[in-house]
Structure 1
Amino acid sequence: MTTVRQLLDQKGRNIWSIHPDATVFDAVAKMADKDIGSLVVMEGEELVGIITERDYARNVVLKGKTSPATPVRDIMERHVVIAQPEQSVDQCMAVMSEKRVRHLPVFEGNKPIGIVSIGDLVKSIIGDQKFVIVQLEQYIHGERAIVDG
């Protein structure tokens, strides 16, 4: 079973953050520049929230606010669900489904070490399933060779 630590080792440990006093415009620009869907909101070394593209769409665009005039703290999610590096990909998928989130910052103690998205988890699960299928096919073909021989 693949762990979050193994997944981060494969995909990289970049974790992009923004200050809660930054504007939503700056947050969206940073997400676009880094080609990511979320930023952790950090005040110094402390995690205070997360902002996602979904937060922007629902809390700025649909409410008639302007992104240059709205601080991140006004729309960020304050109750951040996090993952631990030793959790399995399956456990994280279950948490994401239950909590209805698409991004999990990964913390080791109080230190952020990466972030995983639902896309990262799905890709990992599909990769694990493909590996199992190949192994099963090799086993089946190997057994046939013995039976046929």
Structure 2
Amino acid sequence: MATKIRDIMTGSPTSVSPELDIVTVARAMRDEDIGAVLVAEGDDLKGLVTDRDLVIRGLAAGGDPSQSKIGGIASSVTATVGPDDSLDKAAQIMRERSVRRLPVIEDGRPVGIVSIGDLAIEEDSGSALADISAARSNG
């Protein structure tokens, strides 16, 4: 059983510039079949954008998504974990901060993302959340 974040995280996370438009990022997320991207300038993590952010803060807010910058809708990163942190630490942070994803930072740069689904699969592979998280995308 995995005990460290590095054992379950999604490595090599997709990062985008805060200057990219919402449509370009949405297409990248679709093409890569991912639900979140990190927003960064170089190794400097600026935020995180989920597919839900695209809808709620991007499309539903009005305006032209091909002109709106992704940096304007990114959620600020309130917490991170390191690759050698425990799964329990990640779960505790997610619970305390009410977040579903945490960037994984090593030597000051993003190296992965760990999600509540990743934890569910590892901790209780028979749970409904684990089943949903492990299932192939229907998109």
User: What's the TM-score, normalizing by structure 2?
Assistant: 0.81
How many residue pairs were aligned? Answer: 126
Q: Is the 8 A contact 2:45 2:109 kept in 1?
A: no
Question: What residue number does 1:123 align with?
Answer: 121
Question: What residue number does 1:83 align with?
Answer: 81
Unaligned runs of 5+ in 2: 128-139
Question: What residue number does 2:3 align with?
Answer: 2
Output the CA distance in 1 between the equivalents of 2:57 and 2:109. 28
C-alpha displacement at 1:55, in angstroms?
Answer: 1.2
C-alpha displacement at 1:38, in angstroms?
Answer: 0.7
Alignment of structure 1 residues 13-32 onto 2, 5 Å:
13-32=11-30
Using the aligned pairs only, state the percent identity. 31
Q: Is the 8 A contact 1:50 1:80 kept in 2?
A: no
Unaligned runs of 5+ in 1: 130-149
Task: Report which of the two structures shows the higher radius of gyration computed on alpha carbons.
Answer: 1
In structure 1, give the amino acid aligned to 2:43.
E
RMSD of aligned C-alpha atoms?
2.0
Question: What residue number does 2:64 align with?
Answer: 66
Query: Structure 1's 96 and 65: CA in aligned 2 closer, same or farther, altered over 3 A?
Result: farther
- 2:110 pairs, out of 94, 103, 112, with 112
User: What's the TM-score, normalizing by structure 1?
Assistant: 0.76
C-alpha displacement at 1:35, in angstroms?
Answer: 1.0
